[in-house]
Amino acid sequence: MDRSGTSRRTSRRTFIAGAAAAGGTAALSSVGGVAAAAAAPVPGSVAVLGGGVAGLTAAHELAERGFGVTVYERRALGGKARSMDVPGSARGGRRPLPAEHGFRFIPGIYHNLPDTMRRIPFPGNARGVWDNLVAPPEMSLARTGREDLRIPLPWPGHRPAELTLDEIRRALTAMLDTALGIPVHETAYFVNRVLVFLTSCDERRDEVWERTPWWDFIRAERMSHDYQRILAIGMTRNIVATKAEVASTRTVATLLEAFVFNALGRGADGPLDRILDAPTNEAWIDPWVAHLASLGVRFAVGWTVREMAYGDGRITAAVVEDPQGTRRSVTADHYVSALPVEHARRTWGPALRAADPQLARCDELHTDWMTGIQFYLTESAPLLHGHLNCVDSPWSLTAIQQAGHWPDRDFPADYGDGAVVDCLSVDISEWDRPGVLYGKTAKQCTRAEVAKEVWAQLKAALNDTGRTVLKDSALHSWFLDPGVDGLGTPHPTNEDQLLIHPVGTFHNRPSAATAVPNFFLAGDYVSVDIDLATMEGANASARAAVNALLDGTGSAAPRCTVTPLFRAPELEALKRHDRSRHRWGLPNAFDLG
């Protein structure tokens, strides 16, 4: 397969145009909503409320099983996973500069989302949009005032990154600096804590480690600065946008366990780190919408869900607001709420909450800010070929330079005004800590100040050991996620917050099935095997919601496959032994205290 030829680029552009047209047609035809779908000879009509990964997954699975589906989305299909255009940035027949809520990261620990991606057709791809995934060969822990630690990500077929003699010198310096920065006894203690978790039974994980902060579990308070920055904060705030001091050990260590086995090639769908080879909508979302439209799914974009009307033990309607601001009652046989939790729970009235107490418990779930900003460069910065994690940055920045991962894209020829050659996409995970430039938190800064502060923190992490990686003269422009508003005022808002995992969160997660027989939940807050706010969790929860709907209706249609996280069989005997110790009130056999 020629992944860089002109024919492939042409087929991409042709397909993208067709996908946009198909999506637009589906949206226009959806006025009248589920009522039209209900008249068709199908098992029943379903209103899917929310058009992010969870909603599109539910629509996909339901449509394949013959249901009439309409997806109601208030803003744009794809939700937080979508890419978007920078307004007014296109010149000379090029497409607008690509932007996003945050860069996409689809690791090999995911199984359900990749399965869906394989079932989305894409021209020239034998395995659908899944073939649009590429694997960066390395990552970096970017240290402020110290050499950055470059970490290879080996995988069969990976071509090792080519290094200059100076880069080899810097890599060796960083490895030794990191090794010496964390004392041997601290390293040994951390490894022991990992072994404790790996051999802990499910009951101990759910009852003890779920209520133990990661910071306490690894005794970070007593350890060195490097131990705290890399092993405590680096694994929490920078990756899952939660604070090590309060994050559930169950959540953090489950993620660590999955990544360890992924790196060892155990139970993995693919390499540890995978990203898309083009802007998200081009590589994934637009083809998905086009495929769903071909299956008969209807889309009502610009419709906002206001309330789930409840009576006689069932949902009687979804009260929505159309693009003109008129309230309407949408009726269907079944309803799948696929809204983010902070939006979904606003639509559940007292009667509905009383009908199922797990809905009220969702008020105890917490969200925080993790938002992207893109910097457009007129010169490609000499960064690594993969993600970098600025572990010492006050705002917990992570980033990736994108053009090098988009082999079918000639960035200046395809996007913007012809001057931009690359996009440095950055995620800001900490919004409540003062920065280095203004001494203000990100929420206290204006949008322009946020951009300047992030740029300054990036330079502090990358331009700090005798070479200039980021040049002010190469900065063309920037774009901050429009979901953030009111920055620099007393009441900033963020429409796209991220579920975080303080201790006890696991016990407040609802199931996909509710006590209301025609109402189902899908989203990354729903209880599924992957205990993390991820696209994989959103996808798995939607599959669980569809299965619950099929069970409730007595359908003979095949159930969705929901693949759990990998469990190493060689550890099962140790976990059974730990189950006995836990029931007797004893600590894990490896727990040295």
- Which of the four pLDDT bands, split at 50, 70 and 90, describes residue 559? very high
Give the residue carrying structure tokens 């063309």: 476
Percent pLDDT > 90 in the chain is 73
- Which of the four pLDDT bands, split at 50, 70 and 90, describes residue 176? low
- Which of the four pLDDT bands, split at 50, 70 and 90, describes residue 29? very low
Percent pLDDT > 70 in the chain is 88
d(CA 124, CA 264): 31
Is 125 a domain residue? yes
- Which of the four pLDDT bands, split at 50, 70 and 90, describes residue 39? very low
State whether 122 and 32 are in the same domain.
Answer: no
Degrees (nearest 5) of the Cα angle 440, 442, 447?
Answer: 110
State whether 69 and 117 are in the same domain.
Answer: no
Residue 322, Cβ density class (10 Å: 0-12 exposed, 13-18 middle, ≥19 buried):
middle
Mean per-residue pLDDT over the chain, rounded:
89
Q: Which domain holds residue 46?
A: 21-82+277-367+498-503+510-553
Give the residue carrying structure tokens 């021209």: 123
State whether 486 and 531 are in the same domain.
Answer: no
Is 590 a domain residue? no
Q: What pLDDT is attached to residue 275? A: 95
Q: Mean pLDDT across the stretch 177-197?
A: 85
Query: Is the pLDDT assigned to residue 580 strictly greater than 80?
Result: yes
- Which of the four pLDDT bands, split at 50, 70 and 90, describes residue 177? low
d(CA 435, CA 438): 6
Is 1 a domain residue? no
- Which of the four pLDDT bands, split at 50, 70 and 90, describes residue 37? very low
| Residues 6 or more apart in contact with residue 327 via CB below 8 angstroms | 306, 319, 320, 321
Query: Is the pLDDT assigned to residue 222 strictly greater than 80?
Result: yes
For the entire predicted model, the pTM comes to 0.90
Largest CA distance in the chain: 74
Is 474 a domain residue? yes
State whether 288 and 312 are in the same domain.
Answer: yes
Q: What pLDDT is attached to residue 244? A: 78
State whether 354 and 307 are in the same domain.
Answer: yes
State whether 51 and 111 are in the same domain.
Answer: no
Domains: count for the chain? 3
Q: Dump the DSSP string for 331-343.
A: --SEEEE-S-HHH
CA torsion angle for 339, 565, 139, 379 (degrees, to 10)? Answer: -30
Is 589 a domain residue? no
DSSP three-state, residue 544: helix
- In this predicted model, what pLDDT tens digit does every residue of 497-508 receive, in sequence order? 999 899 999 999
Is 559 a domain residue? no
- In this predicted model, what pLDDT tens digit does every residue of 101-126 receive, in sequence order? 988 889 999 999 999 999 999 999 99
State whether 66 and 90 are in the same domain.
Answer: no
Q: What pLDDT is attached to residue 245? A: 84
3-state secondary structure 169-191: HHHHHHHHHHHHHCCHHHHHHHH
Q: What pLDDT is attached to residue 1? A: 32
State whether 179 and 291 are in the same domain.
Answer: no
Give the end of a domain, one of 470, 494, 518: 494
Contact 500, 475 (CB under 8 A): no
Is 55 a domain residue? yes
State whether 363 and 416 are in the same domain.
Answer: no
- In this predicted model, what pLDDT tens digit does every residue of 375-415 receive, in sequence order? 999 999 999 889 999 989 999 999 999 999 999 999 999 99
Q: What pLDDT is attached to residue 463? A: 93
Distances in whole angstroms, Cα of residue 437 to Cα of each of 5, 141, 394, 449, 451: 45, 22, 11, 9, 11
Q: Pairing mode, if any, of strands 498-499 and 367-368? A: antiparallel
Q: What pLDDT is attached to residue 156? A: 67
- The domain that holds 353 is classified in CATH as 3.50.50.60
- In this predicted model, what pLDDT tens digit does every residue of 250-304 receive, in sequence order? 999 998 899 888 888 888 899 989 999 999 999 999 999 999 999 999 999 999 9
- Which of the four pLDDT bands, split at 50, 70 and 90, describes residue 21? very low
> For the chain, how big is the Rg over CA atoms in Å?
24
Q: What pLDDT is attached to residue 381? A: 93
Pick the range with the lowest mean pLDDT from 158-162, 198-202, 444-448, 516-520.
158-162
Residue 580, Cβ density class (10 Å: 0-12 exposed, 13-18 middle, ≥19 buried):
exposed
Determine how many CB atoms are found less than 10 A away from the CB of residue 592.
11
- In this predicted model, what pLDDT tens digit does every residue of 193-212 receive, in sequence order? 999 999 999 999 999 999 99
d(CA 462, CA 470): 7
State whether 257 and 181 are in the same domain.
Answer: yes
Contact 44, 68 (CB under 8 A): yes
State whether 245 and 220 are in the same domain.
Answer: yes
DSSP three-state, residue 436: coil
State whether 339 and 263 are in the same domain.
Answer: no
Query: Is the pLDDT assigned to residue 481 strictly greater than 60?
Result: yes
Q: What pLDDT is attached to residue 546? A: 98
| Residues 6 or more apart in contact with residue 35 via CB below 8 angstroms | 331
Provide the H-helix boundaries in 249-330.
249-263, 280, 286-294
d(CA 78, CA 579): 42
- The domain that holds 473 is classified in CATH as 3.30.9
Is 341 a domain residue? yes
